[in-house]
């Protein structure tokens, strides 16, 4: 894994199988003597065109923060990395194949969309987001880019519904016919996933159970790559620091930087916003002011969309227009996450109970041309795998989401306000673009 770039990748995969009608469950002073890296002005985001729908993005981010709370609670004392964007694309593609009113109503509610919004409108917005991500004009620096890819792997015995094919085409999906009973079927899917995940996650499935009844595999992949601006972090200034984790206190290698930056603070937290090269994408860190064991959970409970937007606005509009200048201590960290039981936890984690599809009149048959008197397309398994690494050169990350379907019978220049932000206890982090799309979210509880 190269240390010269930042890579964030997310892949959402749907393993589709056909069965009969039942939903299968299967604070520190600046040290001038250290000559830490400095800049004379804050980095600013480069405007891009066309802009995305702000109301949809706001609702989407509200949903992402809901998922962050849910995933964090379920992870206990373990660290977390996941991609809300990946999971949102996955759910929209699933929802588009369903004729179940209860499921579609849940999707609207989870997405914080009004009841008048239907799955087609959500797809329209996600299609625009997909096109925005794929637009090369939105890549403002050669070392920073975001791409998205979708793949639909279909059993050679079945044909895709033309309407569903149009939807998939709008998502720029690759469509591949496969014989799932052949040994190379799993390898074909995993190779596609690995390529889209920039080799960070080599596979999502080891084997296909009930290969004869597997109808399709749908994959969504989001990949981000970039670098810190030159001189942002210098490995010569990385030194050990004690991190007060939930599991134990531990000395960890910690990066240091003096910079005029996008910074925010209030009674609850300190927050930093660190643009990657080109300023199109950024890493943000939210650090609770308290070091108590419940401080992270307490902050997450307060972190609704209004509070998040207030923090984000504060990065670019500091009090009285006076910028901040300070010292940041940020530990290196690497996190992996693997949840192979996402279906059973879908209501708890995603806010959408996929088990509502339990009868022959409420299936995902809109995806394929299937005689429903013969069989129905239903979900039988979901999974999410992710990894992230942050160091002096940047960040590498990848995520894969999977669901298996089964066939059943700018700031002014003024004197800066100084701060010190010492990230030495559990914190929240995320990767965001300058349209405010939350691409990756997570928590660090121990190192």
pLDDT in tens, 138-188: 555 566 677 777 888 888 888 888 988 888 888 878 888 888 888 888 888
The Cα–Cα gap between 44 and 344 comes to: 43
The C-alpha angle with vertex 25 and arms to 24 and 26, in degrees rounded to 5, equals 95
pLDDT band at 2 (very low <50, low <70, confident <90, very high): very low
Which residues have C-beta within 8 Å of that of residue 378, sequence separation ≥ 6?
Answer: 18, 19, 21, 22, 23, 24, 357, 363, 364, 405, 406, 407, 408
Q: Which of 126-135, 236-245, 278-287, 312-321 has the highest mean pLDDT?
A: 236-245
The percent of residues in the chain predicted with pLDDT above 70, rounded, is 79
Q: Strand 239-244 and strand 214-226: pairing?
A: unpaired
Domain 228-333+412-444 classified CATH 2.30.39.10? yes
**pLDDT one-digit tens code per residue, 34-84:** 444 444 344 444 444 456 788 889 999 999 999 999 999 999 999 999 999
Which residues have C-beta within 8 Å of that of residue 209, sequence separation ≥ 6?
Answer: none
Which residues have C-beta within 8 Å of that of residue 178, sequence separation ≥ 6?
Answer: 153, 154, 155, 156, 185, 188, 189, 217
Mapped onto helix, strand or coil, the DSSP state of residue 116 is coil
Closest CA to 1 of 202, 200, 142: 200
Segments of 193-313 assigned E as strands: 214-226, 239-244, 249-265, 269-275, 281-288
CATH 2.30.39.10 in the chain, residues? 228-333+412-444
The Cα–Cα gap between 421 and 262 comes to: 12
The Cα–Cα gap between 122 and 103 comes to: 14
The Cα–Cα gap between 107 and 238 comes to: 45
CATH 3.30.497.10 in the chain, residues? 6-26+74-227+334-408
The first and second tokens of residue 61, run together, are 């981010």
Task: Please provide the average confidence, as pLDDT, over all residues in the chain.
Answer: 79
The first and second tokens of residue 332, run together, are 């290196």
**pLDDT one-digit tens code per residue, 257-313:** 887 678 999 999 999 999 888 778 889 999 999 999 999 999 999 999 999 999 999
- Assigned CATH class of 6-26+74-227+334-408: alpha beta
Contact between 177 and 154 (Cβ < 8 Å): yes
pLDDT band at 396 (very low <50, low <70, confident <90, very high): low
Contact between 124 and 113 (Cβ < 8 Å): no
């Amino acid at each position: 894994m190269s240390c010269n770039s930042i890579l964030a990748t997310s892949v959402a995969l749907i393993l589709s199988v056909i069965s009969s009608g039942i939903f299968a469950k299967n604070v520190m002073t600046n040290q001038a003597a250290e000559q830490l890296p400095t800049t004379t002005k804050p980095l600013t985001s480069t405007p891009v065109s066309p802009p995305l729908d702000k109301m949809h993005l706001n609702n989407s981010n509200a949903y992402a923060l809901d998922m962050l709370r849910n995933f964090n609670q379920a992870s206990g004392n373990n660290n977390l990395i996941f991609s809300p964007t990946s999971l949102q694309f996955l759910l929209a593609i699933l929802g588009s194949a369903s004729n179940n009113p209860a499921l579609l109503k849940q999707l609207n509610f989870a997405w914080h969309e009004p009841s008048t919004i239907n799955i087609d409108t959500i797809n329209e917005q996600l299609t625009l987001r997909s096109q925005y991500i794929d637009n090369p004009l939105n890549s403002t620096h050669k070392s920073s880019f975001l791409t998205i890819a979708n793949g639909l792997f279909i059993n050679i015995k079945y044909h895709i519904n033309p309407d569903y094919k149009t939807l998939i085409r709008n998502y720029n999906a690759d469509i591949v016919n496969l014989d799932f009973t052949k040994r190379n079927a799993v390898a074909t899917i995993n190779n596609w996933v690995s390529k889209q995940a920039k080799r960070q996650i080599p596979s999502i499935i080891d084997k296909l159970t009930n290969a004869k009844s597997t109808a399709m595999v749908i994959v969504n992949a989001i990949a981000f790559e970039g670098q810190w601006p030159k001189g942002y972090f210098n490995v010569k200034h990385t030194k050990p620091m004690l991190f007060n984790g939930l599991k134990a206190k531990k000395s960890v290698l910690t990066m240091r930087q003096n910079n005029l930056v996008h910074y925010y603070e209030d009674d609850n937290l300190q927050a930093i916003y660190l643009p990657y090269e080109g300023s199109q994408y950024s890493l943000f860190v939210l650090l609770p002011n308290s070091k108590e064991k419940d401080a992270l959970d307490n902050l997450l409970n307060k972190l609704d969309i209004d509070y998040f937007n207030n923090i984000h606005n504060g990065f670019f509009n500091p009090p009285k227009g006076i910028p901040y200048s300070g010292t940041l201590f940020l530990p290196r960290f690497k996190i992996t996450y693997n949840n192979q039981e996402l279906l059973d936890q879908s209501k708890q984690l995603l806010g959408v109970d996929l088990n509502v599809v339990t009868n022959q009149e409420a299936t995902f048959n809109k995806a394929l041309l299937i005689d429903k008197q013969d069989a129905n397309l239903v979900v039988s398994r979901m999974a999410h795998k992710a990894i992230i690494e942050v160091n002096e050169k940047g960040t590498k990350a990848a995520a894969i989401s999977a669901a298996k379907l089964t066939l059943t019978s700018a700031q002014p220049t003024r004197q800066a306000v100084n701060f010190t932000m010492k990230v030495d206890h559990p914190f929240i982090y995320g990767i965001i673009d300058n349209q405010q799309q939350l691409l990756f979210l997570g928590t660090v509880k121990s190192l």
